Chain A
């Protein structure tokens, strides 16, 4: 089945530093998504990417959909303590009967004040 390889698995950074994480896939997705999960909560959508090469920002977050449609990265600039959580990439092939998301294993982010 389709799998997403997400790296790094975890990151320990100092407040104010920039963060970068990425995801690769052996197969193509129509849509790439980045989610954040905080303890005791479900994943919350941060950014959705719909077109190959698309670069999208949401505040201090920036994500890009790779040209090959098989990869994506997420950057967080000037990290703050509330950025702590697990970040998941996910792929979606919308249309037809599919609606299930394929997730990476997550990147656990720890931010030291």
Chain B
């Protein structure tokens, strides 16, 4: 079974540009989560999809971040315009059941560097 796949693995962009991160969850997992780790800090929750609906987006930093999951399969996280403080590693995770550890699996992350 394929795991959670994230693309790209690395991205270096200039301040003010736009970047789109993609996450493909494990097939059949309705729950998809985005997290972010800024260097030296904790991994912080950004938002949670159940199928195509946003269940919880309380962790989204501001309106420069837009997450979508059209069709309830893969998800994208767009940052527009990017700022220096957006640098970090963005992780995606998926799980079979809401609020459960059942198959809760993380992807390898996208390392975003804004210069």
Residues of A within 8 A of B (CB): 4, 6, 31, 33, 40-45, 48, 88, 90, 92-106
Contacts and interface: CB of A to CB of B under 8 A. Distances in A.
Contact of A103 (B4, B9, B42, B108): B42
Contact of B48 (A4, A42, A43, A100): A100
Interface string B1-32: 00010000100000000000000000000010
Contacts of B95: 99
Nearest to B9: A40
**Which of B4, B43, B108, B109 gathers the greatest number of chain A CB atoms within 10 Å?**
B43
Interface stretch (B62-70, B79-87, B97-105): B97-105
B106 A99 contact: no
A97 B31 CA distance: 11
Given A98-B99, A99-B55, 16 more contacts: A31-B101, A33-B101, A41-B108, A41-B109, A42-B109, A88-B43, A92-B101, A95-B99, A97-B99, A98-B56, A99-B31, A99-B56, A99-B95, A99-B98, A105-B40, A106-B42
A100 B101 contact: no
